[in-house]
Chain A
Amino acid sequence: MMKTNRYVLSILVDDEPGVLSRIAGLFSGRGFNIDSLSVASTAEPNVSRITMVTKCEPQIIEQIKKQLHKLINVITVNDLTDKKYVQRQLALIKVNAQPDKKAEILRIVDIFRCKIVDVGLAHYTIEVSGDTEKHDAIISLLKPMGIIEIASTGAIALARENGK
């Protein structure tokens, strides 16, 4: 087995019905895997940005990029992996909040600069925004308290400075 890497692709596409299924179909049909995917409109009309994270071998990422580019509705494929970029992911974590644990949870929330967005008799819902490492770290700290549910977005990313 070759070593697999994590790649972050920022893809601009025509905002047309079916674009997402073209991309999803390309990945399933060719046996590529998608780690996470996030789609939303951009400042430009009729153009959407897809941020995709995929883990694969180095020579596969070349095929993935070329195959994506070949889709008629794909405008640009920007591989951010080796560039300077900022990346965020948003998660909502509902965690058990027994009276004796509340203080500790609040301390973790504080250290990670998260927010409590919902409070119940026996739970907190925490909003986390950051990169994947931050998410992994807070989840591992909250786990002992008993995580009830997590909802998370895929990663979104933009190149730093003026580079597109």
Chain B
Amino acid sequence: MAPELLLGPAPLVRRRGRTGSIMWRVVLALSPVAALAVAAYGGPALLVLLACVLGSLAGEGLGGLLWGKARFFADGSAVLSGLLLALTLPPALAPGWAFAGGMLGTLVGRQLMGGLGGNLLNPALTGRLILSLGAPGALESAWRQPWSWRGTGFWEGLAAQDPLPLLHRTYLVLQELLSGALPPLPAGWPAGERLDLIRHAQDLLAAAGADHLLWPRLPGLMGEVSLLALLPGLCWLFTARLVDWRIPASILLVLPPALLLAAGGPAGAWMLPALYVKGTGLLLLISVFASDPVTTPLGQLAKFAYGLGVALGLVALLVWGQSSCAFWGLALGAGLLVPWLDRILVPRGLA
């Protein structure tokens, strides 16, 4: 009887952790945010979440049927894409749209380009862009006021303290910057005159309060319900080297001073926190999407160059841009430059 010895080239030992486990760990890292979003926005948010994940899985399966590509359901990439898409969406989107976004994003962004590893586009961002272009109305009507333990009268409470006019004016300025990306103004709010951007941002922050970092006080994306719920997961991903820190780090290094310059002095400095408070998806874009390994460069130098490019693109968009589509499109477009960056900035080794 032939001995049962097994064949394979060296090394014959491998580190624990395969592609699937990386995906699932990213899912795990993001799940506190998703759970908080469901808690804050209730049933509709849960439906959006499920619809996105199911849509993404359906896209993966359909892609396999259409192009005969192997389907890697178990590797968690489809679930992760669905989850990421859901985090970029307003909480009360019709589940049908969410499903369509998940499916089309995976089909176009990943399966059409050769499946996991071959794609230049992030499937979740692709799905988001498709929805922004195809269903702007559905998106705009999907913003919800988060539940608060202070009662639903939070807005009324604010009104009683009279920060509302300020909030509103800030809102208008930001809305101009990112038209369409923001929740609509509650009915009956008076339109105010434009104020200085700094004042608006300051006012906005004051209105939201510091606990906005923990629990959403204003309508926003599902993925930005709580900075504190997002940060531990992100830190874990970075320290466990599951995602690379270089791109987010270079964006965060470049973005504030560039905004400062471009937005004319200190105004820029207030934009970042203001944009977070408004739940625009900036934080997700910087931390999660910009560190998606598949659609970002390989080499260290290329990673820094990519981060620099994304940061400058964001500045241009924040200061002069007019459309939220461009916001998501930017990250997608940057992915198309990755092969070129990898080619020109390839590491040549020490020898």
Q: Do A and B bind each other?
A: no
User: Using a CB–CB distance below 8 Å, which chain B residues touch chain A?
Assistant: none
User: Using a CB–CB distance below 8 Å, which chain A residues touch chain B?
Assistant: none
